[in-house]
Chain A
Amino acid sequence: MKAKFLVVLCAIVALIALTWRSPIGPVSKAFAQQGVQPAAKQETTGIQPRMVSPTFAGPPAGTPKLPIDLFSSKNFYKDRALWSDQRYFRCNTPRQITDIWTSHRIGEKPPTTAAWGDCSIDYPRAKIVSPYPYKTAREHYQALLAAAKAKGGPTVYTKATLPDWDGHYARDGQADHGGDWIGGAVNQAPTILSLLTPEYQTRMVQGNYHEGVNNSPQWNASFCYPEGYMRWWLGGGGNSDVMVTTWNVQFLSGLADNFIRQILIGKEHVQKVPQWYGETVGFWDGTTLVAWTANVQGWTLTHSMFDFSDKMETVETYKPAYDASGKYVGLDIEGVFYDPDAFAQPLHATFRLARQADDPTRRYTYVECLSNLKNTKGMPTQITEADPRYVDYYGRPWAQNWEKYFEVGWDKPQSSGVPQDILDSLK
């Protein structure tokens, strides 16, 4: 009796575990939004296309709304069974959810008046997951290394023979869209959720809810928290300066923080603690640079996308791209993301960095984050001098502190430069 009970129990547990592992299956069938009138306003002035959201007042014709969705829910945790249905998010992409307030798509009676996105758009999950058979970054990297060795490599360059990659690069959004999904702008939310483990699905929906419903975006750079490794793959690695030496290939870029990624040629991972941008080693296989990043500090992508853990590792290839005439135009970059804590399986992105024409006036601007945005009652708020947390960064804040607490009532010298007794003698 006990044995039979145990067998049945094990079967139940196995069944639950199988469904629990990925409660969000691939995105449900898209409903064409025909016959539905678009909502009145769209933000178009000066905003990048990703923020100009196809906006609809409701779901496509013939598609019923869910009785409860993100914007009517009082507790998204209880709605787990609905997370796999794009209607739960009103067909908004993660980026649309982040921007729903700033793009005025939340409506007159938020949050229940939140607009719908386009239920017909999505980027295939099959293109986001890794096409490779490798289970870990180590396995992947070592396979590539073995392949290089089989051809007599890795390639060893001297100063004279180094590939000529130095220069300034910008992401070519037209040449390759294989990494757009990281921006959260081309997918239905459930498609992204389907890539994540349960805990990380919960974290992502938490972000969706509090950004989309509570209007509490927590972009780390607002508060001068680190940007984190994955942001390089989003946009941080966009405008990059590349320097190539025999021992180190460096990518330097930044938006709200400085991204410094150095690929140390011929080295092994040695760092004992997670690093904000990981520790990257690599080798040359002919003109292809192969890199492996490990020891990454877990963080979040923000913008209604996902967290990642400190098990995050990537295997990357950088291949020179040429135009039809054979002229070097840039780098085709592929990244495979391994994070067994966060991802249901390895993920995959590609993009092109196009080298820009030499510009003698182009400079890298070193970024120092100086923010007066603080959370006030849970929402990021631009504070002013009236707030005790305000920092007048360019007004010698160290001196302001001293003058406020230790120099009250003091006589201080005139700032005119002429001594007071001289000024007095002229009266």
Chain B
Amino acid sequence: MRTRLFVPLCALLALIALTWRSPTAPLSTTVFAQQQGGQLQNVPGQGQVQARMISPTFDGPPAGMQALPLDLFSSKNFYKDQKLWSDQRYFRCNTPRQLTDIWTAHRISEGSPTSAKWGDCKADYPRAKIVSPYPYKTAKEHYEALLAAAKAKGGPTVYTKATTPDWDGYYTRDAQADHGGDWMMGTVNQAPTILSVLTPEYQTRMVQQNYHEAVNNSPQWNASFCYPEGFLRWWTQASAVGFGVMMTPWNVQFLGGTADNFIRQVLIGKQPVQKVPQWYGETVGFWDGTTLVTWTSNVQGWTLTHSMFDFSDKMETVETYKPVQDANGKFGLDHEVVFYDPDAFVQPLHATYHYVRQPDDPNRRYTYIECLSNLRDTNGRPTQTTRDDPRYVDYYGRPWAQNWEKYFEVGWDKPQEGLPQDVLSLFK
């Protein structure tokens, strides 16, 4: 009897395990065109907002598509809605970025999460282009394969000071030339497509973000609080706004930043050795002709924020940087990255970017960033604090001295500034 029960039970377990592994299957294939019924809204106050935030906005789903009876915005507990996470309608077809921006873009009304607008149900970026096209299961395997291929050709290439490729300079991302990394910004995908590349635990974490940013208006961008930006942010804003490259035979350095300083150093010919996770990982690499191949490991797990996903401390990347010259003779770098994170991703992911070297500008400087924030969570929401708040820090007003004067100099006589009193008294 027990044996008979055991077999179907195992089958049931297997079946559940198979579906559990990816409860959010690839995005449902039926896309409902938002024709007729859904009117494109002119959202007030968006005249000056960057293109990524000007969201195609609709009052409802496309004609012929039914809204779900329960969705992110009407849910009282998103955890219970796991079966719906794979349906774009659950998110009202909003991209992750739209979810993050739904309040600042005025696409939701205060006190009424169910008033949230819809995104464009047709807009998506193929999952097939997000996942890695390579057969490698781990970064180590991938890197070693590339290294073996270089060795087979007599490499790796060894450069001297004199022969190091001429890559020094400042670069910006050319978003027109290559869209292969746009998905990292969360702007081009339906939320379920991103969820479909995550493991269950990390899907839960992402939907948690979606919910609390979009429904509760509690965005928790780490830089707001001067928490670290984290490794993956390099592939969103940090490298988008521009970075400097310095080339030496032993170290290729990338330096950039928006809310924090990103310093990524590729140590040529080295092996990973660090024992604890690093905020930007530990990167080693080699030259295969003029292509720089890198492997980053020992990464501190963190989150991408902006309604995207967390990543674990098993995150590793294999990257290539290839020099290119466009038709106008402008020098740039084609960058490909493969992300490996068996805790967070159901399979390795993939992104590509094109960076253009900027003309030499004698006025261009890297501005070292110190994060000085007076944003604090108050009742769960980031709030700009003022002097009245005990958590406020007057950073440029000698805060150390303000602390001393507040607690230890109350009632003290202090010297006049400028001329001594006895001199001033002469003029009375």
> What is A's interface to B at a CB cutoff of 8 Å?
9, 12-13, 16, 20, 75, 77-78, 80, 158-160, 162, 164, 166, 199, 202-203, 206-207, 210, 214, 216, 218, 220, 223-226, 241, 243-248, 250, 252, 257-258, 260, 262, 264, 267-268, 270-271, 275-277, 279, 300, 302, 307, 360-361, 363-366, 368, 370, 375, 377-379, 389, 391, 393, 396-399, 401-402, 404-406, 410-413, 415, 417-419, 422, 425
A247 near B401: Cβ-Cβ < 8 Å: no
A245 near B168: Cβ-Cβ < 8 Å: yes
Contacting residue for B273 out of A361, A399, A422, CB 8 A = A361
Q: List residues of chain A with CB within 8 A of the CB of B227.
A: 370, 391, 393, 397-398
Distance in angstroms between the alpha carbons of A160 and B164 in the assembled complex: 9
B271 near A360: Cβ-Cβ < 8 Å: yes
1/0 per residue, CB under 8 A from A, across B271-300: the answer is 101100011101000000000000000000
Distance in angstroms between the alpha carbons of A410 and B270 in the assembled complex: 49
Q: List residues of chain B with CB within 8 A of the CB of A413.
A: 79, 82, 204
A205 to chain B, nearest CB (A): 11
A243 near B251: Cβ-Cβ < 8 Å: yes
10 more CB-based (< 8 A) A-B contacts, given A378-B404, A412-B79 = A20-B420, A164-B161, A216-B403, A223-B393, A243-B253, A260-B263, A363-B267, A366-B278, A401-B218, A419-B16
Distance in angstroms between the alpha carbons of A375 and B204 in the assembled complex: 37
A411 near B414: Cβ-Cβ < 8 Å: no
Distance in angstroms between the alpha carbons of A267 and B362 in the assembled complex: 6
B426 near A368: Cβ-Cβ < 8 Å: no
B13 within 8 A of A: yes
Contact A160 B423, CB 8 Å, known A258-B261, A262-B366: no
A411 near B80: Cβ-Cβ < 8 Å: yes
Task: Please list 24 pairs of residues, one from A and one from B, whose beta carbons are closer than 8 Å in the complex, sorted by A's number.
Answer: A9-B426, A13-B423, A16-B419, A16-B420, A16-B423, A77-B412, A77-B415, A159-B162, A214-B408, A216-B407, A225-B372, A225-B399, A243-B251, A245-B247, A250-B246, A260-B263, A260-B366, A363-B273, A377-B407, A401-B218, A401-B380, A406-B218, A406-B380, A410-B79
Distance in angstroms between the alpha carbons of A248 and B245 in the assembled complex: 10
B263 near A252: Cβ-Cβ < 8 Å: yes
Distance in angstroms between the alpha carbons of A396 and B209 in the assembled complex: 12
Name the residue in A206, A366, A404 with the highest tally of chain B Cβ atoms < 10 Å from its Cβ.
A366
Task: Name the residue on A nearest B23 (C-beta).
Answer: A419
B400 within 8 A of A: yes
* B 370-387 contacts with A by CB, 8 A: 370, 372, 377, 379-381
B103 to chain A, nearest CB (A): 15
B413 near A75: Cβ-Cβ < 8 Å: yes
B350 within 8 A of A: no
B212 within 8 A of A: yes
Task: Name the residue on A nearest B378 (C-beta).
Answer: A405
Q: List residues of chain A with CB within 8 A of the CB of B9.
A: 425
1/0 per residue, CB under 8 A from A, across B384-409: the answer is 00000001010100111101101110
A363 near B263: Cβ-Cβ < 8 Å: no
Task: Name the residue on B nearest A249 (C-beta).
Answer: B246
A406 to chain B, nearest CB (A): 5
Contact A368 B204, CB 8 Å, known A160-B161, A396-B303: no
Q: List residues of chain B with CB within 8 A of the CB of A159.
A: 161-162, 164
Contact A378 B403, CB 8 Å, known A267-B362, A396-B303, A399-B208: yes
> What is B's interface to A at a CB cutoff of 8 Å?
9, 12-13, 16, 20, 77, 79-80, 82, 160-162, 164, 168, 200-201, 204-205, 208-209, 212, 216, 218, 220, 222, 225-228, 244, 246-248, 250-251, 253, 255, 261, 263, 265, 267, 270-271, 273-274, 278-280, 282, 303, 305, 310, 362-363, 365-368, 370, 372, 377, 379-381, 391, 393, 395, 398-401, 403-404, 406-408, 412-415, 417, 419-420, 423, 426
Distance in angstroms between the alpha carbons of A364 and B205 in the assembled complex: 32
Q: List residues of chain A with CB within 8 A of the CB of B267.
A: 363
A206 near B365: Cβ-Cβ < 8 Å: no
B303 near A402: Cβ-Cβ < 8 Å: no
Q: List residues of chain B with CB within 8 A of the CB of A252.
A: 263
A366 near B380: Cβ-Cβ < 8 Å: no
B212 near A417: Cβ-Cβ < 8 Å: no
B16 near A398: Cβ-Cβ < 8 Å: no
Contact A398 B305, CB 8 Å, known A160-B161, A276-B368, A378-B407: yes
Contacting residue for B404 out of A160, A202, A206, CB 8 A = A206
B404 near A210: Cβ-Cβ < 8 Å: yes
A-B pairs, top 8 by smallest CB distance, nearest first, are A378-B407, A405-B380, A218-B400, A398-B220, A160-B162, A210-B404, A402-B212, A226-B370
Distance in angstroms between the alpha carbons of A277 and B246 in the assembled complex: 19
Distance in angstroms between the alpha carbons of A274 and B156 in the assembled complex: 44
Distance in angstroms between the alpha carbons of A246 and B426 in the assembled complex: 62
B208 near A402: Cβ-Cβ < 8 Å: yes
A12 near B423: Cβ-Cβ < 8 Å: yes
Distance in angstroms between the alpha carbons of A102 and B255 in the assembled complex: 38
Task: Name the residue on B nearest A422 (C-beta).
Answer: B16
A202 near B415: Cβ-Cβ < 8 Å: yes
Q: List residues of chain A with CB within 8 A of the CB of B248.
A: 166, 243-245
Q: List residues of chain A with CB within 8 A of the CB of B162.
A: 158-160
A77 near B414: Cβ-Cβ < 8 Å: yes
A406 near B216: Cβ-Cβ < 8 Å: yes
Distance in angstroms between the alpha carbons of A95 and B178 in the assembled complex: 56
B404 near A218: Cβ-Cβ < 8 Å: yes
Distance in angstroms between the alpha carbons of A296 and B365 in the assembled complex: 14
B284 to chain A, nearest CB (A): 10
B420 near A270: Cβ-Cβ < 8 Å: no
B218 near A264: Cβ-Cβ < 8 Å: no
Q: List residues of chain B with CB within 8 A of the CB of A247.
A: 168
Distance in angstroms between the alpha carbons of A237 and B113 in the assembled complex: 52
Q: List residues of chain A with CB within 8 A of the CB of B419.
A: 16
B369 to chain A, nearest CB (A): 8
B279 near A216: Cβ-Cβ < 8 Å: no
Contact A404 B380, CB 8 Å, known A260-B261, A300-B400: yes
Distance in angstroms between the alpha carbons of A415 and B368 in the assembled complex: 41
Contact A363 B274, CB 8 Å, known A13-B423, A218-B403: yes
Name the residue in A160, A397, A402, A404 with the highest tally of chain B Cβ atoms < 10 Å from its Cβ.
A402
Task: Name the residue on B nearest A403 (C-beta).
Answer: B208
Distance in angstroms between the alpha carbons of A370 and B260 in the assembled complex: 14
Contacting residue for B205 out of A214, A267, A399, CB 8 A = A399
A302 near B400: Cβ-Cβ < 8 Å: yes
Distance in angstroms between the alpha carbons of A389 and B242 in the assembled complex: 35
B403 near A245: Cβ-Cβ < 8 Å: no
A264 near B365: Cβ-Cβ < 8 Å: yes
Q: List residues of chain B with CB within 8 A of the CB of A80.
A: 415
B423 near A378: Cβ-Cβ < 8 Å: no
